[in-house]
Structure 1
Amino acid sequence: MINHTNKMKMLERQLSVVMTLLCCVHFHVQSSNHVEDGIRRSHFPEGFLFGTATSSYQIEGAPLEDGKGSSNWDAFSHTPGKIENDENGDIADDHYHRYLEDIELMSSLGVNVYRFSISWTRILPRGIYGDINPSGIMFYNKIIDNLLLRGIEPFVTIHHHDLPLELGKRYGGWTSPLIQRDFVHFAEICFKSFGDRVKYWTTINEPSLVVDLAYMRGIFPPGHCSPPFGNCYTGNSDVEPLIVMHNMLLSHAKAVELYRKHFQAKQGGSIGIVAHAFMYEPLRDEECDRQAVNRALAFVIAWVLDPLVFGEYPDEMHSILGRQLPRFSLKEKSLIKGSLDFIGINHYGTLYAKDCSLSACPLGTDRPIRGYVETTGTRDGIPIGDEQTGMPKFFVVPSGMEKIVDYMKTRYHNMPMYITENGE
């Protein structure tokens, strides 16, 4: 969530992440070995969306300005030692004051869609325990209106990791089922305030990344973990991720139910969720590693999407975690099943997967919560891709995009998909 270097800040200010629409994926994506020179916009189908993507804490700054309340990231980034060089998002890209410049930049790039997230604490400074902040509503209204004036479609994420600090202090945030009520309350305000102009909604960005980094490894707020994943003051890395994901999925489904019942027909929008989606290749030419690939995909992607499409957690998880997995009641199954109009895909690379049920692996990867899978970007010291990304462990593997889209298309029966983030 934090931009650690000047280079990353520059990239964010240039809004360089591309978003494209793959509606039902009825066309073939060229492999990396057959990329055509001189690609033009006219080569893409009519209605194909080219855009940019950001999140509120990464770009806005102004953490306490105009009535905004404190978020989990505001507090976490100001805790010494939590963030590299003790940096924080107090200024970030100063989007709160420079949003008109940023919209002009987008317009100059020729994009026709902008994905951004709404800061929960800019709308509800204390969550459900306080009033709506009119200045926050006004800020996002100005963004939406100015985007539309320039022919740029707003694509809005309701929650992108920044949670009101108040909710964490009162009942533990995502670890409590109370969060479901509060999330729906926040979503309803967004639908009422912006839904007349917003036609693309996503509820939550990358739930599986949140449970991994915030509740398993403890490097995102609230910083919960336990050995061997990390040494945090509190948390249980084998249990809390399951609870948090369960609450996120039910929060999503209840918000979708509200939208469909009271807003969708009148406002004419669609609603989905965004999945964190690496592709994986077997580290060794062995059946156990091919099965490890299947488990890696299930424990990262299907953990989120299977319940929302089919009404239940993936079989790959049931076979390993069994009764440890939280259960959906019959009413909840009916609620979550089919609670997607589309899938959002955030894809940044491909990794090797190695089986850890039969092979020796580092501590942490050899546990049920990880699906007994170790992932790595290299094999025998050779990177999986020719170029390194901005993240040291990740490499550019263009064919991975085609493969991850094909995996989603097959597993989820050709459901409409948006590439909501990709790049280096």
Structure 2
Amino acid sequence: MKKYKFTKEFLLGGAVAAHQFEGGWDQDGKGLSIADLRRYNPNLNRKDINTERAMTKAKLAEALNPPKDLVFPKRHGIDFYNNWKQDINMFGEMKMKIFRTSISWPRIFPNGDETKPNEAGLEFYDKVFKECKEQGIEPLVTLSHYETPYHLVEKYGGWKSKELINFFTNFAEVVFKRYKNLVKYWMPFNEINAAIYSVWAGAGLKDDEENIETKSYQAMHNLFVANALANKIGKSINQDFKIGCMIAGMMTYPFDCKPENVLLNLHQEQRRKYFYFDVAVGGYYPNYIKKYWERKNIKLDITTEELEIIKNNTSDFSGFSYYMSGVYSVDEQELVEGNLIKFGKNPYLDSNQWGWQIDPVGLRVMMNQIYDRYQKPVFIAENGLGFVEEMKNSSEIIQDDYRIEYLKKHLQQLLLAINEDGVECLGYTLWTPIDVISHGTSEMTKRYGLIYVDQDDFGNGTRKRYKKKSFAWFKNVIETLGETLWDED
């Protein structure tokens, strides 16, 4: 295998989300986000993760009036809000070229529908982005990473309401103008397709609402319009902005060559992967989704003007997360966990501790699929391995060779996609450079970071930061432009 390297321009770094690491949920005027209402369940059965992720009317009522023993870990995160300088300095020591993070919408507009922003929130991100620049790190900013202000859910019903489009574009315009000289790379929404598969996080909808599928597709359309308008507004403020979409990567295969399985997988790929890229990057609603809505009697409020906005303001690049792959079969099959949904088990793949199937080659396949279809650069916005890790003493270095192996194999396939297949790729941000609160389960036990944070699932601990073995490994990968990825173990 030829030993390919990254170019000096390739953006190699790490990604986080404000609601998973920032904390400071009640500091300096920040409002309540939908993520702040996610509880931690110490008795979670991992077979019921999708049920745990769901937000029902009963769960919401409990979160708004919680018993004393209920814990909401995303409210304190890992306290980046009060440790931002130390953490960014560690990212600089790691030689990260890019740092993907999100701006907490309710830190800027506490309720989401105000006309004037919270200056204290804007000043916080001033400091963060300036420190990134001083460390030689390019910020990549997600405007909304599952952080819709809760007030917009309570008053307007979440993203099923078109009123949220204007509130979001007002927020986008404020931060585009404020950071136009500090931030070049933007993503309006994280994993925009979560509006269909994780409706509370993606759209601020309760899972037990009536006609939830129709409401989630209406929310999806409203998000597409907001995404396109953000592209338009951003380019009017700074034409050099690079604004891309971000979609949860759904890499799947037919279970075998049975024609019915091939057809099933095609239909699943259309509805669970290509649809979102077709709209955000291609600028159009494809016929297959219109036929699906027809069959399901899903009727949406979509105007000709909105379709023109989507058509004329497409994304500059195709960003997506990639963790695993799965298979589809018309016959009964064993299911395994995915990022937002469950797939059939692939007998050729190993799985991690959480049942996510490890498939580095699938990353190369998906990069080819998306680049070939749209002919715009791709960006790997999330990719990483969660694991249970515990430090027994402060002098210990966690030997996370399993994470190194996972990242190494995926980065190798990324380089092969670029150099042997001709895929244009802007960059790669691993999930994540530092341990954070799990999005799906609100636990700390599921650790992805290259930096260990001394904190447990209940928020107990010193919150001191310690480098894992993967820290030095990734630093070396960046410094050698990936040359060491091909070294024999």
Is the structural similarity TM-score above 0.5? yes
Deviations 1:16-59 (CA, angstroms, capped at 9, x unpaired)? xxxxxxxxxxxxxxxxxx5x7xx7xx811231111100000000
Q: CA deviation at 1:409?
A: 1.2
Matches within 5 A, 1:375-394: 376-379=343-346, 382=347, 384-386=348-350, 388-389=351-352, 392-394=354-356
Q: CA deviation at 1:239?
A: 1.4
Query: Could you say what secondary structure the match of 1:207 adopts?
Result: coil
Residues of 1 paired with 2:282 and 2:300: CA distance? 16
Structure 2 counterpart of 1:123, from 75, 87, 108: 108
Partner of 2:128: 143
49 and 325 in structure 1: CA distance in 2 versus 1, 3 angstrom threshold: farther
TM-score by length of 2: 0.67
Residues of 2 paired with 1:246 and 1:326: CA distance? 8
Partner of 1:304: 276
Residues of 1 paired with 2:203 and 2:37: CA distance? 8
Q: Compute the RMSD of aligned alpha carbons.
A: 2.7
Matches within 5 A, 1:49-60: 49-60=11-22
Q: CA deviation at 1:244?
A: 1.1
CA contact (8 A) 2:142 2:188 kept: yes
Q: Which runs of 5+ in 1 are unaligned?
A: 1-33, 226-231, 363-373
Partner of 1:98: 83
Partner of 2:220: 245
Partner of 1:113: 98
Residues of 2 paired with 1:258 and 1:130: CA distance? 17
Structure 2 counterpart of 1:417, from 365, 371, 378: 378
- 4+ residue runs over 6 A deviation: 81-85
Deviations 1:138-196 (CA, angstroms, capped at 9, x unpaired)? 11000000000010001000110111111111111201011111110000011011122
Query: Could you say what secondary structure the match of 1:156 adopts?
Result: strand
Residues of 1 paired with 2:307 and 2:299: CA distance? 14
Q: What percent identity do the matched residue pairs reach?
A: 26
The one-letter code matched in structure 1 to 2:378 is M
Q: CA deviation at 1:85?
A: 7.8
CA contact (8 A) 2:329 2:344 kept: no
Partner of 1:331: 305
The one-letter code matched in structure 2 to 1:164 is P
Residues of 2 paired with 1:81 and 1:155: CA distance? 32
Q: CA deviation at 1:313?
A: 2.2
Residues of 1 paired with 2:276 and 2:316: CA distance? 15
Query: Could you say what secondary structure the match of 2:7 adopts?
Result: coil
Residues of 2 paired with 1:139 and 1:150: CA distance? 17
Residues of 1 paired with 2:146 and 2:102: CA distance? 10
Query: Could you say what secondary structure the match of 1:336 adopts?
Result: helix
Q: CA deviation at 1:269?
A: 1.4
Structure 1 counterpart of 2:206, from 217, 224, 239: 224
Q: Which runs of 5+ in 2 are unaligned?
A: 41-58, 335-340, 386-489
Q: CA deviation at 1:341?
A: 0.9
Deviations 1:306-341 (CA, angstroms, capped at 9, x unpaired)? 123333323332333226263643322221125211
The one-letter code matched in structure 1 to 2:234 is Y
Residues of 2 paired with 1:344 and 1:111: CA distance? 19
Query: Could you say what secondary structure the match of 1:66 adopts?
Result: coil
Deviations 1:183-236 (CA, angstroms, capped at 9, x unpaired)? 100000110111221100110011112321125xxx8784622xxxxxx3x343
Partner of 2:291: 319
TM-score by length of 1: 0.77
Query: Could you say what secondary structure the match of 1:129 adopts?
Result: coil
CA contact (8 A) 1:264 1:270 kept: no
The one-letter code matched in structure 2 to 1:331 is E
Structure 2 counterpart of 1:346, from 308, 316, 321: 321
Structure 1 counterpart of 2:238, from 264, 268, 290: 264
Structure 2 counterpart of 1:162, from 147, 159, 171: 147
Residue 218 (structure 2) pairs with residue 209 (structure 1): no
